[in-house]
Structure 1
């Protein structure tokens, strides 16, 4: 019996798919099946995937005739997974060889943990320019239950979704599923929020995945207007769904977290005008002040270099 099912949703991933598949082949832990779903792709993704049929212990290829989006595709993949543990992979990420082994060892050792993730590196192509999430990078551990829920609500998602491994039993027994919340945006975030209320989430203090964040990379999250709209919708929806957990003050804090992200996404005069607009509304929000001070320091540094 195969213990681990690696699920891989694919949509027009021909440029990066082979690199991802190669990294999965190089895993120290070999006893896994790979289940991939071609989600209405119009490029060469399917042909690339078929070239790996004999390389994996077991490779199942599913195909959506039209693009269904990440949520429905993830649900279909999980339905076909036979493993006790389900590991999530993405088409444009590189997985370090110890990724699956470390996660399996943790889940085998601690039955109270329902989901385990780790640290992600952000690659700009030439160099690594950051790591996420800070809580794990700095050696701390995730809280549990309501505290974990509120951390991921107020501060936004703090779990690397592209290298999650979770128990299928927790997913099934609690009726969890991936939503089609604003197609392919915030899908993993809603899942983590709900998962945190039914089972323990553990973070490994290891870099498990390298995320491709080159400027030329095209992804759904590169559309910032749509992404920001989806985030605001998610925060409102969860405040309505969980009024016993999320107070008005919590909701307002979470929205200001989002405003900081929106401010920092701007440059030049757009940054100045956006910053002023939000600062006037909430002049006592320290994160707004930190944002502009950081921007000033960067400008001064550039002037003297």
Structure 2
């Protein structure tokens, strides 16, 4: 039986797919299969995948005849995975050689842990712009259970979704799935929130993935207005789903966290007007003061 299934959803991936596959070929851990699903596109992604067929222990290629979106594609990939552990990969990210081995070691040695992730680098070419999440970067560890749920709800997801590895047994036995409710935005966030209430999530204090964050990158999350709308709906929906955990105070705090991001996305007069709107509405929110201080320091 194969130890790890690396699942790889693909949508118009020909420009970056080879780099991702090269990084998977270079993994020090070799007992894994790659299962890719081309989500209703007709570029050269399939041809690129076939060029790598002999470089992996097993490579499977699935096709969606129409574009189904990330959630349904992820569900299909998990269903077809035969590994004990499932590792998530994305078509435009680079995985450092020890990524899979480090994660397998954690899951093999700690049966109470159901999901493990690590640190991501934000990159533009060879230049690193930052690392995420700060909690792991500074040597801390994720809390567990409800505390982990609240951390990811109140402050937005703190788990690097593109390098998650989880036990398939936890996924199957608890009826987990990747939602299509928020199209291709926040799909992994909803998954992590639900997972945190079912099994422990662990963070590795190593950089496991380099994320391509060039300014010209074509990404669903580049549509900020769509992203913001989906995030607000996610926060509302989870407040209805988990009323015993998310009270009014928690919900309002989480929503103000979202407003901070919306303020930060603006520039020029739009930033000033948006900041004033939320500051007048929530004058005692310290994060809004921190936002404008940071912006002023950047201008000086």
**Aligning the two structures, in what range does the TM-score lie when normalised by the shorter sequence?**
over 0.9
Paired residues, number:
300
- Name the residue aligned to 2:119: 119
In structure 1, runs of 5+ residues without a counterpart are 301-305
SS of residue paired to 1:277: helix
SS of residue paired to 1:116: strand
- Name the residue aligned to 2:224: 224
Deviation per CA, 1:76-134: give whole Å up to 9, x if none.
00011000000000000000000000000010000000000000000022410000001
1:237 lines up with 2:204 in the alignment: no
Query: 2:43 and 2:273 mapped to 1: Cα distance?
Result: 41
- Name the residue aligned to 1:84: 84
Query: 1:204 and 1:182 mapped to 2: Cα distance?
Result: 28
Query: 2:87 and 2:153 mapped to 1: Cα distance?
Result: 23
Query: 2:284 and 2:173 mapped to 1: Cα distance?
Result: 44
- Name the residue aligned to 1:65: 65
- Name the residue aligned to 1:191: 191
- Name the residue aligned to 1:172: 172
Query: 2:242 and 2:55 mapped to 1: Cα distance?
Result: 46
Query: 1:23 and 1:103 mapped to 2: Cα distance?
Result: 16
- Name the residue aligned to 1:153: 153
Query: 1:96 and 1:219 mapped to 2: Cα distance?
Result: 22
Deviation per CA, 1:141-178: give whole Å up to 9, x if none.
00000000000000000000000000000000111000
1:53 lines up with 2:62 in the alignment: no
1:104 lines up with 2:104 in the alignment: yes
Query: 1:46 and 1:54 mapped to 2: Cα distance?
Result: 14
SS of residue paired to 1:239: helix
SS of residue paired to 1:256: helix
Deviation per CA, 1:35-83: give whole Å up to 9, x if none.
0000011321111111111111100000000110000000000011000
Query: 1:54 and 1:125 mapped to 2: Cα distance?
Result: 28
- Name the residue aligned to 1:256: 256
- Normalised to the residue count of structure 2, the TM-score between the two structures is 0.99
- Name the residue aligned to 2:209: 209
User: Could you tell which deviates more after superposition, 277-286 or 39-48?
Assistant: 39-48
Query: 1:261 and 1:60 mapped to 2: Cα distance?
Result: 39
Query: 1:146 and 1:57 mapped to 2: Cα distance?
Result: 39
Query: 2:222 and 2:67 mapped to 1: Cα distance?
Result: 18
The list of structure 1 runs, each at least 4 consecutive aligned residues, that deviate by more than 3 angstroms after superposition, is none
- Name the residue aligned to 1:28: 28
Query: 2:181 and 2:103 mapped to 1: Cα distance?
Result: 28
Kindly report the root-mean-square deviation, in angstroms, between the aligned alpha carbons of the 2 structures. Answer: 0.6
In structure 2, runs of 5+ residues without a counterpart are none
- Normalised to the residue count of structure 1, the TM-score between the two structures is 0.98
- Name the residue aligned to 2:267: 267
